[in-house]
Structure 1
Amino acid sequence: MLLLHGGREYGTAVPPPWNLPSLRMRPFASAIGRATWGGDVAVGRVRYRCRGWNGVCEDPVRDARQALDTLVQRFGDVPTVLVGHSMGGRAALRAGGHRLVRGVVGLAPWCPPDEPVEQLAGRRVVLLHGDRDCMTDPDASAELAVRADTAGADVSMVLLRGTGHAMLRRATMWHELTAGAVSALLGLGPEPAVMVRADGFDGCHVREC
């Protein structure tokens, strides 16, 4: 499992090792570690060469794909889940077409209009977004979810009431849902109930909690 923290729209400086976006992901790593304990799961993080997305350079996507290629070299074709927040969520979704990727969990992902979704066909995609997010748009996540579902992904979106981009309010819920999704994607446990499609449901599944 690989974590991708957030970043800036533009920025070519090297991120400091303990920047706030990176620190924000540490409780997620701990929660995922607890949920997958005994399942022979490695929890790692993608190291970015730059602090920003940087337009057509898409630096975080390149870094994510390089990290996945490194996993192939070290461990072979191991099933992998990407978990990304904000800019990292966008990068995770973009890199979701890599052959190792079984699923993507996007936390308040940055989803500009017309973001590609074809690479997500055949993948499980879970999007979590706070309804009070002022940095990235939950409606944009919902729009991407619908398009990804149409493109052949298995998509659920959960809108967390009363919480924003930093994922500090209702932090335990953020951590538990993410860890539960990762555990399920790796075949180590059931999916959180709020993410499960109702019988006979057709189309993208969006719920609030």
Structure 2
Amino acid sequence: MAQKADHQVSSPSEEPAWKQRAVERSTQAAKRRAEQRVERFLEAAQAVMTEKGTTDFTVQEVVDRSKQSLRSFYQHFEGKHELLLALFEDAMSKSADELRALAAEQADPLDRLRVVVLELFESSRPDLTGKQRPLFTDFAMRLLVTHPAEMRVANAPLLALFTELMTELEDADLLRSGFKARRVAALTMQTVMFNAQSSGQEGAHPFTAEEIWDYCANGITRD
């Protein structure tokens, strides 16, 4: 009796390796092109804001400066608000990196926090002459009220830095008993930025960076 040949049921084969490589290469190239287009829009918006000294610009101005199309703009951003948010998030991330590098120059954990508080206050406050007002001051204040979730995302890098600094104080037994590093980090950061951005509204004697630091330091550290 003839023996029946075994026929193995094969599962659908994966795509050939050459095809996977080709698709991946194509996808990576498209991603790079998209990133380049986004970067050109961001650079154009930053240039327009710097020239005008305000965030009061139009999408068309950014499109013209970037030498790209309006259609391309709306493929990457829903509108001006999302563009501003992207710029704001990028600015906050760069600010956190700069402050972290500044803090690293100090050996004492309290000194690290101090230089960060002072520098953040000075870089966030408006120029009372009105000539060098930080470009995102008004936008940040509006964002805090109208889009708090977006504000939290944008401020995440700064909050992470302050949390690191507060954790160092806690480890050195310098943080006031009962305080949680992340909560006191958020409270301190918000105190510094809010008072800096509203500087000048409290009358003829605006708060100074040293006053803000003295207030924060005495509130968060042990006696």
| TM-score of the aligned structures, taking structure 1 as reference length | 0.31
| TM-score of the aligned structures, taking structure 2 as reference length | 0.29
Greater strand proportion: 1
